[in-house]
Structure 1
Amino acid sequence: MKTISITILFWLLSMLLLSDESQTSKTEVKCNLTAKNYSLIPANISKNVTILDLSYNQITLNITDTRVLQTYFLLSELYLIENKATILLNNSFSSLSNLEILNICRNSIHTIQQGAFTGLHKLKKLYLCQNKIVQLNPDTFLPLKNLILLNLHGNLISYFDVPQLFYLEFIILYGNPWNCSCSLLNLQNWLKTSNVTLENENITMCSYPDILKRYNIKTVPYKAECYSKFPSFVTEDLHIPFQSISNSTFNNSLNNLTRNSEHESHGKSWAFLVGVVVTVVMTSLLISIAIKCPVWYNFLLSYNHHRLEEHETETYEDGFTGNPSSPSQIPDTNSEETAVIFEQLHSFVVYDDGFIEDKYIDTHELCEEN
């Protein structure tokens, strides 16, 4: 009797195991549609599909695609690697409550709306690598209560606020242009104090500023100024009086500094004004001197000349006409030729005299005399 009961028990257990295996084999339905050049998610797939691979297509995850996805509510794994998605809309995966793995790497995603992951309560692994994500709202990850792995490598993220992912174990952040300023201090503290493992830590390097490029984001040293911007929790009884004292001392020093700066600014302004006036006056004097110099030079040159007296003029004319070629010494010349030569010489003396242009010679009077 005992042997019969034992055999019945073994038979029941074996049947249960076989039924579980058959159920698992029935529930796991794979569908591989990679590299089919699909621009939309096909709607003719079996509704019992659990693993759907649509990688290497032209899918954009538009509104039509999200509506089709709602019908595949048994999905546990979805692969959309290297497609054409640019935006993850709100409620894109809201009906996929059984989804555990979502891989959307190597797309062109630059915007993730805050409710994009709504409904993914069982999601354990999220891959958003090699996209064009610049900024992420930490509230976007709030629906992911059971997320274990988050892959964000190869994006354009320079700042990342701490997400509230209590079950997260692994995070991948390398290949981003991290700005290791004070704003990244919270992320560093979270990586150090939480149980999250930063994968590829040695190559998760700072890109800015230049002096911190040799550090990774987990070990970069921060100055005391950064810690003052993000103070640790202090009791109010100690913090408030210290803050009031520091504020009062700061205000006093600020008042003294402003007073001194006002006095110094007034003195410097007067000195600057005087210097500007002196510079302008000296420059104007130099310009006027440069302009007047030619006039004064001509005046001095003309001042050295004097008006010829009458006897000096007659003497000069007599001496000029008494040269060897005078009419008295020329043989065989008549009086008319002598008169013509005399007039030509006389006219030459009048108009070629160097003193004609002198301002002290009255040319009108000289013409009358002639």
Structure 2
Amino acid sequence: MPDPPRRQLRCALPLLCALLAAVSAPCPPRCACSQAARTVECTSRDLRAVPRGIPADTRTLVLTGNRIRLGPESLQELRNLRNLSSLVLRDNRIQDLDSRTFSGLPSLRSLDLSRNQLSVIHPEAFVVQTGSLRDLNLSRALHNPSSVVDLAASLRRGSLEALQVLDLSHNGLVLLPAGVFGGLEALQVLDLSHNALRAVPEEGLAELDQVLDRVPGAAVLLGGNPFTCSCSIQPLAAWLNRSWSLVQDAADLRCASPPALRNLTVLEAAAALPLGCPRGPGGAPRALQTSYVFLGLVLGLVGLVFLFVLYLNRRGIKKRVFGLRDACREVWEGYHFQTDSDPRGARGSAGTEA
């Protein structure tokens, strides 16, 4: 039976070997590594690709402030990191995301692509084999607002059923495409703050309702958008009254125009709008419905006046019609007379008969 000190030594040997292996694990040049946290950080190193030699057990990789292009070489380096759970690619001037760019990272849970210049996003750019992605940061990531169309397709087809946090703030979005959040079944936080939304139509509000109704406690952020507080803001105000507790920054939803309502909250501005703005039962503003009815009445009145004028002048109109008919008859008879009296026409007809 081995003595206790020898037994303790045997138990400590595996731990000592693991510690020595961790200490001797290589770190890529120009990067800082933490073996305890399994983190590799390469910040502002002017890297053009994912560095080689990243330890295979790395869980967090930070590549902020470089010029990394996600080409074949970088993708191959990423595919070697099977345990990577957090990838930070902030501020790398990335413009394109190809199909299944991150599919080789089965453990990826958090992806930060903020402060890039995305202009082309493949519909399957965010597909991860295991569907493990939970947090997607795209703040200041879109090169122009039109990129939201590509983004919408990638969110619908990206196998993001488990995504919980989506940050789309500071992207200049002017609208929410139909069905953009349709496949995000587990979304808990949606950040749409500081964009260019001037109003949210009823279709967009229906999209937000779908997000908020799926998961208990889900929340959305809409502050910092330049809302135009005209009659078109009424649907948003009514939605805020219903969903006040689910909008984390509801008090920050303020009007940017018109000048008379600037800096008022959306709810304050909705209460200050004219009486013509309340909504009718058909969904369109009542003032708009009234204007359509008034236009129809005016056109009908104009038609009646026109018919009445024709009726009053029926005799004069009849006389003018008869005069026009007689004039046309005289012109026609004169034309035939000139044709019959022309000798060349007579000779021509005689020759024809011969």
- Under TM normalisation by the shorter chain, which class is it? 0.5 to 0.7
Q: What's 2:102 paired with?
A: 93
| Pick aligned residue for 1:185 from 199, 202, 205 | 205
Which residue does 1:76 correspond to in 2? 85
2:167 matches 1:151: yes
Q: Does 2:207 align with 1:165?
A: no
Unaligned runs of 5+ in 1: 1-6, 228-257, 275-370
Q: Distance in 1 between matches of 2:91 and 2:202?
A: 35
Q: Are the counterparts in 1 of residues 121 and 154 from structure 2 also a CA contact under 8 Å?
A: no
Residue in 1 aligned with 2:321?
none
Taking a change above 3 Å as real, the CA distance of residues 93 and 270 of structure 1, as seen in their structure-2 partners, is same
The 3 A distance-change label for structure 1 pair 59 and 220 is farther
Partner of 1:123 in structure 2?
133
- Return the offset for 1:200: 4.1
* C-alpha distance in 2 between matches for 1:191 and 1:126: 16
Preserved CA contact (<8 Å) 1:148 1:168 = yes
How many residues are treated as equivalent by the alignment?
Answer: 240
Distance 2:230 2:70 in 1: 39
**How far 1:215 sits from its partner (Å)?**
5.7
Equivalence map 1:56-67=2 (5 Å): 56-62=65-71, 64-67=73-76
Structure 2 gap segments, 5+ residues each:
23-33, 243-277, 285-295, 312-354
Instruction: Tell me how far apart the structure 2 counterparts of residues 216 and 88 of structure 1 sit (CA, whole Å).
Output: 37
- Name the residue aligned to 1:44: 52
Identity across aligned pairs (percent)?
18
Higher radius of gyration, 1 or 2: 1
Cα shift readout 1:114-137 (whole Å, capped 9, x = no counterpart): 100112521121111112243332
Contact 2:126 2:154 (8 Å CA) reproduced: no
Distance 1:188 1:148, change over 3 A: closer
**What is the SS of the residue equivalent to 2:205?**
helix
State the 1:30 CA deviation. 2.0
Whichever residue aligns with residue 176 of structure 1, its letter is: N
Q: Distance in 2 between matches of 1:109 and 1:263?
A: 54
Q: Could you tell me how far apart the structure 2 residues matched to 1:104 and 1:134 are?
A: 15
- Asked if 1:134 is matched to 2:148, the reply is yes
Answer yes or no: is 1:195 the counterpart of 2:221.
no
Q: Distance in 2 between matches of 1:205 and 1:57?
A: 30
Matches within 5 A, 1:296-311: none
Q: What TM-score do you get using the length of structure 1 for normalisation?
A: 0.50
| Shift of residue 27, structure 1, vs aligned partner | 8.8
1:164: Cα distance to partner? 2.4
Alignment of 1:1-370 (within 5 A): 29-38=38-47, 40-48=48-56, 49-62=58-71, 64-119=73-128, 121-132=131-142, 133-135=147-149, 136-137=151-152, 140-141=155-156, 142-157=158-173, 158-160=175-177, 161=179, 162-178=181-197, 179-193=199-213, 194-195=215-216, 197-200=218-221, 203=223, 205=225, 207-208=227-228, 210-211=230-231, 212=233, 219=240, 223=279, 224-226=281-283
SS in 2 for 1:52: strand
Relative to the length of structure 2, the TM-score reads: 0.52
Paired with 2:134 and 2:77, the residues of 1 have a C-alpha distance of 23
Any conservation in 2 of the 1:110–1:134 contact (CA below 8 Å)? no
Deviation, 1:263, is 8.4
